[in-house]
Amino acid sequence: MKIGFIGVGIMGKPMVRNLMKAGFELHIYARHPEKVRDVVKEGATLHESIASCVENSDVVISIVGFPEDVEEVYFGPDGILAHVRPGMYLIDMTTTSPSLAQRIYNEAKALNVSALDAPVTGGETGATAGTLSILVGGDKEAFDTMADVFSAMGTNINYLGQAGKGQHGKMTNQIMIAGSLAGICEAFYYAQQEGLDLETLLKSVSTGAAGSKQLDFCGQKIINEDYTPSFFMKHFIKDMKIARDEAEMKGMNLDVLSTILDHYQELEAQGDGNLGTQALIKYYKKEN
Q: 3-class secondary structure for 17-58?
A: HHHHHCCCEEEEECCCHHHHHHHHHCCCEEECCHHHHHHCCC
The question of whether 165 is a catalytic residue gets the answer no
The C-alpha atoms of residue 215 and residue 204 are separated, in whole angstroms, by 12
How confident is the model over 258-284, as a mean pLDDT? 97
The C-alpha atoms of residue 185 and residue 90 are separated, in whole angstroms, by 38
Q: Shortest CA distance to 63 belongs to which of 33, 28, 32?
A: 28
Question: What is the tens place of the pLDDT at every residue in 2-45?
Answer: 999 999 998 999 999 999 999 999 999 998 999 999 999 999 99
Residues in the chain: 288
Given a cut of 90, whether residue 81 has pLDDT beyond it is yes
Q: Where does the pLDDT of residue 268 fall: very low under 50, low under 70, confident under 90, or very high at 90 and above?
A: very high
What pTM was estimated for this model as a whole? 0.92
- Each residue of 127-152: b (16+ CB within 10 Å) or e? bbebebbbbbbbbeebbeebeebbeb
| Domains in the chain with CATH codes | 2-162 (3.40.50.720), 168-287 (1.10.1040.10)
How confident is the model over 274-278, as a mean pLDDT? 96
The C-alpha atoms of residue 119 and residue 7 are separated, in whole angstroms, by 13
The C-alpha atoms of residue 260 and residue 180 are separated, in whole angstroms, by 10
Q: Where does the pLDDT of residue 137 fall: very low under 50, low under 70, confident under 90, or very high at 90 and above?
A: very high
Q: Where does the pLDDT of residue 287 fall: very low under 50, low under 70, confident under 90, or very high at 90 and above?
A: low
> Rounded mean pLDDT of the chain?
96
* Helices 233-249 & 255-269 angle (0-180, nearest 10): 140
Catalytically annotated residue among 170, 234, 238, 282: 170
Q: Where does the pLDDT of residue 230 fall: very low under 50, low under 70, confident under 90, or very high at 90 and above?
A: confident
